[in-house]
Structure 1
Amino acid sequence: MNGRYIDIAAADGSGQFRAYLSTPASGRGPGLVMLQEIFGVNATLRALADHYAEEGYTVLVPDLFWRQTPGLELGYGPEDREQALACYRAFDIALGLQDIQSAINALRTQPGVAEAVQAAKVGVVGYCLGGSLAYLAACHTDCDVAVGYYGVGIEKRLDDAATLRCPLVLHIPAEDAHCPPDAQQAITQALAGRDAEVYIYPGADHAFARPGGDHFDKPSALMAHQRSVAALKRAIGPHFDLSALWDRHCEYEFATRDVDATMATMVAEPYVNHIPTMTGGVGYRHLHHFYSNFFVNSNPPDTRLVPISRTVGATQVVDEMLFCFTHTCEIPWMLPGVAPTGRPVEIPLVAIVQFRGDKLCHEHIYWDQASVLVQLGLLDDSRLPVAGVATARKLLDETLPSNALMARRP
């Protein structure tokens, strides 16, 4: 964990409560109050706060059960669940909202938040109990944006939507018994036409975004996180030049061929996956080894990247390009075990590059391996529905013939 604890004075003068504070590597960034599940500010929440700190946020996780059981940190077993539910039943929502406002106020005075480009901007993100409180915070506090994951009981407080004060995003799993289809419909209808986005995740269940949980659904969690960060960046930042960061990474890979400089553009534990050959690495140590031995210094000297298009989103860059080379050396990441053929190759390639803050988090790289093998004379395209260099040529000239493979049908 990267954080520390601070104390916050309750607005009603009844005492102080503890909050976990995690800051970005830069030391400054927009504020984000993270609201707990019923299991307290446990290791799961603190790890999630650290994750958002990597995104560039100064994150504060207040202990909202301090009036019932201060410092509660529970697991997810049956006994823990019973204790958590007892705290939940004793929880006073009105006082909880006061404590959330106190946390927002405290976060705005943190040096890293006050010094951020969008000074003193604070968002709220919450899970389960915290998800419903995030919705209420958007209606009753002065936060600048709110994101709620699988909030419980929102459909019972839809009248509060009349006082919605800021952009709101809600992530609702379709199979959540705590928010059945009629509740999902009521929430969606009540927020229609307001500054709110409601996303339903088919097949996902309650706590789908909790890593290691029984209902963890990685595709839904990834999609929800991208939507969350996009909403946060629109409202409070931070803003990074992802295009320039990706260009710098590619320069280190293909121009200067500097492994350490390449790794320095990435998060502490990144991964790379070349989809067709499943080459790459997961984690710093494995990826550094891969770059050093099988990638950065293993590309032919005439390797060229020809940009075709680039799409820059809130959290990722999607690059469409031509990857061109002469097969004068073994290329372990693309053609492992294949001896040099001396043949030229031009292949369309797509890179989907995910960022966390101002660092690369992962790369998913796609190309048509069959087209590469055809160009090297290793695959007979007369017997199979595959094409060679024509795939690259047509990408640059759309007037070239279409449906040539179909025309070969008897």
Structure 2
Amino acid sequence: MGQTIQIQTQDGSFSGYLAIPAAGKGPGIVLCQEIFGVNATMRQVADYYAEEGYTVLVPDLFWRIAPGIELTDRGEDFQRALGLYQQFDEDKGVHDVGAALDALRARPECVGQAGVLGFCLGGKLAYLAACRLPGVACAVGYYGVGIERALDEADNIRGRFVLHIAERDGFCPPAAQAQIREALGGRPSIELYVYPGMDHAFARVGGEHFDKASALMAHQRSIAAYRSEMGPHYDFSALWDKHCEHEFATRDVDATMATMVPEPYVNHIPTMTGGVGYRQLKRFYQHHFVHSNPPDTTLIPLSRTIGASQVVDEMLFCFTHTCEIDWMLPGVPPTGRRVEIPLIAIVKFRGDKLYHEHIYWDQASVLVQIGKLDPKGLPVAGVETARKLLDETQPSNTLMARWSESERQ
């Protein structure tokens, strides 16, 4: 996705990796590297944020001591990276981040405001950039090393600053974390997030301490901050509605896929049906979903929550079981029974395209309604779950045998 450009300073020029969003332009982010140089990991992060709609520049901040170096996080490479970190001049590094910001703002692909993002060494630089450089709308640091030694600069922060802290980070031990919380906590423009049980580099994909759940949560918080301060802003509600229209109304698989990123995925949680990647998901849509829903299928929306990067829909999913529904009732012949169930869709976007869908419903309720599960003696219900969702005055606690006992207590 990216290209290499040159960044000019009074001390000389150095390279940077530039990733551009599919729209061709967007707000700018300077991505500050870990101690391993502008390696494949940093380029992947840049591409990731470009998918989110940003023009991202990753400057080679080691250009003064080891230009163009790319290291891994293992073995001798790790030791060499530590050596480079010890030689690194932090003040000159911040100067170079400023030069990268100037170069980014000068490009036609960068529109609107610009911010800074950094990991490890870059996390500290993101903090210092927020303190020292003008016009940084939003800075985000992941497990920055040494921030506690520069807390006296915090009063200079004019934009928004987000810091992700790994609870068990050996490079930012408990005492340092306490200093950071004491100095930065409670400020209206600063957000601190601690990730329990996580170690340094929990967001480095493929790394020894990578934790997907924490990485996803941190990314969502980061995107929320950037969106709030810099944009871009998308109409996720309209995009999701268009996607559903192609799924259930026009039943157009190609149009459905066109609303999604190049490599999306769908996971129907109760039955683990769906697909990962373009080819598998298109196959799923073509042969097992779009053309496999009963003709009277209807979706009744009840609520919608729109966040910085996702939509959460609460709805009723209603149909008559007149055909085999591969994705919901695989292998179950049509029963002719009517089904009405609450259904939750959590839809994540990257930029203006759908990235994934997580779909939840109560499979036991479906099986009760088609006559495949006898609810007698089991804590499950049939169509009553849908009816109570529409009418909260319907009886509660009917499955609790001990409910009557508490009335006398």
Match of 2:125 in 1: 133
SS in structure 1 at match of 2:67: coil
Q: Kindly, what percent of the aligned residue pairs are identical?
A: 68
Match of 1:348 in 2: 342
SS in structure 1 at match of 2:109: helix
**Equivalent of 1:20 in 17, 20, 24:** 17
Match of 1:155 in 2: 148
Q: How far has the Cα of 1:160 moved from its partner?
A: 1.1
Cα distance in 1 for partners of 2:138, 2:155 equals 16
Match of 1:314 in 2: 308
CA RMSD in angstroms, aligned pairs only: 1.0
2:76 is equivalent to residue 79 of structure 1: yes
Unmatched 5+ stretches in structure 1: none
Match of 2:98 in 1: 101
Match of 2:281 in 1: 287
SS in structure 1 at match of 2:374: coil
Paired residues, what number? 402
Give deviations 1:95-119, integer Å, cap 9, x for gaps. 1111101111111111021xx3xx2
SS in structure 2 at match of 1:342: coil
Q: How far has the Cα of 1:86 moved from its partner?
A: 1.6
**Equivalent of 1:201 in 190, 195, 198:** 195
Residue pairs, 1:299-338, within 5 angstroms: 299-338=293-332
Residue pairs, 1:127-276, within 5 angstroms: 127-142=119-134, 143-194=136-187, 195-276=189-270
2:376 is equivalent to residue 391 of structure 1: no
**Equivalent of 1:277 in 253, 268, 271:** 271
Q: How far has the Cα of 1:163 moved from its partner?
A: 1.1
Cα distance in 1 for partners of 2:34, 2:54 equals 20
Query: What letter corresponds to residue 246 of structure 1 in structure 2?
Result: W
Give deviations 1:174-226, integer Å, cap 9, x for gaps. 01011111211110110123210000000111000000100000000000000
Cα distance in 2 for partners of 1:409, 1:172 equals 45
Query: What letter corresponds to residue 359 of structure 1 in structure 2?
Result: K
Cα distance in 2 for partners of 1:409, 1:358 equals 48
2:28 is equivalent to residue 36 of structure 1: no
2:42 is equivalent to residue 45 of structure 1: yes
Cα distance in 1 for partners of 2:11, 2:309 equals 41
SS in structure 2 at match of 1:111: coil
Give deviations 1:337-362, integer Å, cap 9, x for gaps. 00000010000000000000101000
* Higher mean displacement: 354-363 or 69-78: 69-78
Cα distance in 2 for partners of 1:14, 1:314 equals 40
Match of 2:373 in 1: 379
Match of 2:57 in 1: 60
Q: How far has the Cα of 1:409 moved from its partner?
A: 7.9
SS in structure 2 at match of 1:233: helix
Counterpart contact for 1:178–1:206, Cα < 8 Å = yes
Give deviations 1:140-193, integer Å, cap 9, x for gaps. 012111000000011111111121121000000101011111211110110123
SS in structure 2 at match of 1:398: coil
TM (norm. structure 2) is: 0.97
Counterpart contact for 1:140–1:165, Cα < 8 Å = no
SS in structure 2 at match of 1:293: helix
Match of 2:114 in 1: 122
Unmatched 5+ stretches in structure 2: 405-409
Cα distance in 1 for partners of 2:402, 2:325 equals 32
Query: What letter corresponds to residue 141 of structure 2 in structure 1?
Result: G
Cα distance in 2 for partners of 1:261, 1:250 equals 10
Match of 2:407 in 1: none
Give deviations 1:85-136, integer Å, cap 9, x for gaps. 12111111111111101111111111021xx3xx2x1010000000011011
